[in-house]
């Protein structure tokens, strides 16, 4: 990152606090602008002046720009990757009856004879407007089918996140309060066990116990349009439980580590010497400063909930995006694969960008410049 003054120190300062021995003029960040600059003495481009006046807005604009750029790069990679796959739809589709003539006809029908750059631009032009073309296999509109499936996946991810995020942060704080004592150890062992088991194993285990032996849960977790909300919720109970167990440990341990790191800082010692109770110290003095790293790990896990549920969807026969994409890959249904890939990438980038921006907003130095 050589782009002007917005380099490392801005963000790391939030976590580490300022080293008193470091000369302030070396940190060279908007957090401490030279008084002379306010008077308009600053030379340089418009962007540079803007960065000094509105460091927060500038940083957020920069993150937004980077995300859009990244998304375009990813779209190119997805298209290139699919292009590089061996075999094509025509031969897979025709199977035994693939004569050169028939293959040629199908390729012409699908427009595969055009150069790849031309096809990329057509595809991208459509994708920007929300039109991902038609599926080669089913001849249906990809956007329509994905709309359905994506809704299902997000439904699942939403409820998994709703349960796992507060639970993880709460358990993390609890583990800090009882650091190295029994509750901390129990939380650690259980969450580690959960993260160590593969998700399909947890899934089958839950099915065996709750659906087969106890008979309290529904399996398979297939949902239909005609279901009511309550029916849907009871259908997704087991996949949500599986996902929660898988992502919980990571977030919980990160929360614990981030808060423990802050707990060794001088301002927590100050709070302790004020005679405050442990819970108040954790909640009021440690937590606000541990927000940035925790938000980052939460975003990663949310992204996993949307993107990485393929296995869970397959185990529970849940009609989500993951299953849809896997099916499309086996028949080389390129428009579907590309659309799914792009949407997954968009989610990933968006969540990470949101985490970045939230972490920036959580930094009082940037929120309240001098």
Partner 1 sequence: MPELLSVKNLKIEATSYPPGEPPKVVTLVEGVSFDLQKGKVLGLIGESGAGKSTIGLSALAYGRGGCGITGGEVLLNGKDILKLDRSGINSVRGAHVCYVAQSAAAAFNPAHKLGEQVIEASLRHGIMNRAEAQKRALYLFRVLGLPNPETFGERYPHQVSGGQLQRAMTAMALCPNPELIVFDEPTTALDVTTQIDVLAAIKHAIEETHTAALYITHDLAVVAQISDDIMVLRHGKTVEYGTTKQVIEAPKEDYTRALVSVRQTKRDEATDQSGTLLKIENVHAAYGNGFKVLHDVSMHLPKGQTLAIVGESGSGKSTLARVITGLLPPTEGHITFEGKELPRTLKGRSREELRRIQMIYQMADTAMNPRQTVRDIIGRPLSFYFSMHGARKTERVKELLDQIEMGSRFLDRYPAELSGGQKQRVAIARALAAKPELILCDEPTSALDPLVAEGILNLLMKLQEETSVSYVFITHDIAIVRAIADSVAVMHRGRLVRFGPKSKVLSPPFDDYTDLLLKSVPEMEIGWLERVLKTRRMESAGN
User: Is the C-alpha dihedral spanning 73, 77, 83, 84 positive or negative?
Assistant: positive
105 counts as binding partner 1 under rule CB under 8 A: no
Kindly state whether residue 269 participates in binding partner 1, applying the rule CB under 8 A.
yes
Residue 39 touching partner 1 (CB under 8 A): no
Q: Which stretch binds partner 1 (CB under 8 A): 111-119, 127-135, 209-217, 262-270?
A: 262-270
Site for partner 1 in 45-84 (CB under 8 A): 48
Between 88 and 272, whose beta carbon lies closer to partner 1?
272
Applying CB under 8 A, among 1, 40, 43, 330 the residue interacting with partner 1 is: 43
How far is the C-alpha of 6 from the C-alpha of 57, rounded, in Å?
Answer: 12
Give the DSSP per-residue string, 52-72: HH-HHHHHHHHHHHHHHHHHH
The answer to whether 239 and 318 are in contact (CB under 8 A) is: yes
Give which of 344, 4, 318 is closest to 159, Cα–Cα: 318
* x-or-dash string of contact with partner 1, 330-369, rule CB under 8 A: ----------------------------------xx--x-
Task: Please state the closest distance from residue 35 (CB atom) to partner 1, in A.
Answer: 10
Q: Cβ of residue 193: shortest distance to partner 1, in angstroms?
A: 30
- Smallest gap from Cβ 255 to partner 1, in A, equals 16
Could you tell me which residues come within 8 angstroms of residue 212 by beta carbon, excluding any fewer than 6 positions away? 219
Give pairs for 75-82: CB < 8 Å, separation 24+: 75/124, 75/127, 75/342, 75/345, 76/120, 78/338, 78/341, 78/342, 78/345, 79/116, 79/120, 79/123, 79/338, 81/341, 82/334, 82/337, 82/338, 82/341
CB contact set of 107 (below 8 Å; sequence gap of 6+): 88, 90, 113
Q: Is 25 in the site for partner 1 (CB under 8 A)?
A: yes
Footprint (CB under 8 A) of partner 1, residues 277-296 = 277, 280, 284-285, 288-289
Tell me, by CB under 8 A, how many residues bind partner 1.
42
Q: How far is the CB of 167 from partner 1 (least distance, A)?
A: 24
Of 26 and 182, nearer to partner 1 (C-beta) is 26
Stretch that binds partner 1, among 11-19, 155-163, 170-178, 188-196 (CB under 8 A): 11-19
Name every residue whose Cβ is closer than 8 Å to that of residue 66 and which is 6 or more positions away in sequence: 353
Could you tell me if 89 and 332 are in contact, meaning their C-beta atoms sit under 8 angstroms apart? yes
List residues binding partner 1 (CB under 8 A). 4-5, 14, 17-18, 20-21, 23-26, 28, 31-32, 34, 36-37, 42-44, 48, 265-267, 269-277, 280, 284-285, 288-289, 364-365, 368, 370
């Amino acid at each position: 990152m050589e782009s002007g003054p917005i380099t490392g120190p801005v963000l790391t300062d939030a976590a580490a606090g300022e080293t008193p021995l470091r000369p302030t003029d070396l940190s060279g960040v908007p957090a401490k602008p030279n008084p002379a600059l306010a008077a308009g003495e600053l030379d340089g481009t418009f962007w540079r002046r803007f960065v000094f006046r509105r460091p927060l807005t500038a940083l957020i604009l920069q993150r937004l720009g980077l995300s859009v750029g990244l998304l375009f790069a990813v779209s190119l990679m997805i298209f290139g990757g699919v292009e590089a796959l061996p075999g094509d739809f025509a031969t897979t589709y025709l199977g035994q009856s693939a004569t050169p003539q028939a293959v040629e006809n199908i390729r012409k029908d699908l427009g595969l004879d055009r150069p790849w750059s031309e096809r990329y631009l057509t595809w991208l032009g459509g994708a920007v407007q929300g039109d991902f073309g038609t599926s080669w296999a089913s001849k249906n509109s990809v956007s329509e089918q994905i709309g359905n499936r994506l809704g299902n996946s997000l439904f699942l991810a939403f409820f998994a996140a709703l349960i796992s995020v507060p639970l993880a942060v709460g358990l993390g704080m609890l583990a800090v309060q009882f650091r190295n004592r029994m509750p901390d150890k129990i939380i650690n062992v259980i969450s580690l066990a959960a993260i160590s088991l593969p998700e399909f194993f947890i899934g089958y285990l839950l099915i065996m116990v709750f659906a087969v032996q106890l008979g309290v849960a529904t399996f398979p977790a297939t949902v239909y349009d005609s279901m009511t909300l309550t029916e849907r919720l009871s259908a997704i109970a087991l996949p949500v439980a599986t996902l929660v167990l898988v992502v919980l440990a990571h977030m919980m341990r990160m929360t614990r580590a981030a808060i423990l790191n802050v707990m060794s800082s001088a301002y927590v010692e100050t709070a302790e010497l004020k005679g405050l109770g442990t819970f108040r110290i954790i909640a009021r003095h440690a937590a606000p400063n541990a927000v940035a790293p925790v938000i980052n790990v939460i975003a990663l896990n949310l992204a996993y909930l949307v993107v990485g549920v393929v296995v869970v969807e397959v185990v529970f026969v849940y009609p989500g995006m993951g299953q849809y994409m896997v099916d499309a890959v086996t028949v080389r249904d390129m428009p579907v694969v590309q659309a799914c890939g792009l949407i997954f990438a968009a989610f990933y980038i968006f969540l990470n960008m949101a985490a970045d921006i939230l972490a920036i907003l959580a930094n009082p130095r940037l929120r309240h410049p001098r």
